[in-house]
Amino acid sequence: MDPPGYRPTPSSAFPPRKSSWSPSTAPSALNALPSTAQYELESLFLWYDTTPSLRTDHSSPPRTGFGGLSRRRGKKPVIAAVNGLAFGGGMEIVANVDLVVAAENAVFALPEVRRGVGAMAGALPRLGRTVGRVRAMEMGLTGRGVGPEEGVRWGFVNEVVPAIEIAVQIAANSPDSVIVTRAGVVAAWEDGSAENASRMVQDNWADALNTGENLREGVRAFVEKREPRWVDSKL
């Protein structure tokens, strides 16, 4: 089950039901991706967003590096599963996804200042919103690595656990509700206004959510005391 015309620079697999897995597989280069692979990833995530049967995606490299996307915009949740180095572009990804889980050997850094370049793909402002100004300054100005436990304390890592656990939990929920919930959080984070975000969710999503089959199924399942049988989202 690969997207049309997809070349596996980052490969894809589907380990849990209703989820996709997009590992980067260039270990000799610490999973750094060439410019062509950036476009491939953009196509991959567009395909993920437009494939109704897929509900979560978690991106993970083999043990020594991390590479992928930045500035992604889409409607479905993406989990970064960091198993090794998330430096530079990898950290740009971490700053932009919806959830971050990390292995014990994970290291996060924005080392651009040590090489005379800049982190200009969106990580700095997003990281500032997530962890606060002084911690974003420390990470950006020193270029030092941050371990997974410190990442949890700072607030940009959810847990030090396998990504598959969170992916399965999310995929078990209503795909309509997952999309709308994510939209509300992202809108407030990007706009900075809880009032504007609430209005956007109401205007753009409420009618479709409230008239959808999954809302009716969720209520029926609750009344009948059984697990819901969700249908693929039409949102």
Q: Indicate which residues carry an active-site annotation.
A: 92, 112
Beta-carbon contacts of residue 116 (< 8 Å; ≥ 6 apart): none
CA distance linking residue 55 with residue 78, whole number of Å:
9
What's the Cα-to-Cα distance from 201 to each of 15, 177, 198, rounded to whole Å?
31, 12, 5
Tokens of 185: 């959080």
The radius of gyration of the chain from alpha carbons, rounded to an integer in Å, stands at 18
What is the side-by-side strand order in the sheet with 99-102?
Answer: 19-21, 56-59, 78-82, 99-102
167: nearest Cα among 19, 12, 62:
19
Contact 108, 91 (CB under 8 A): yes
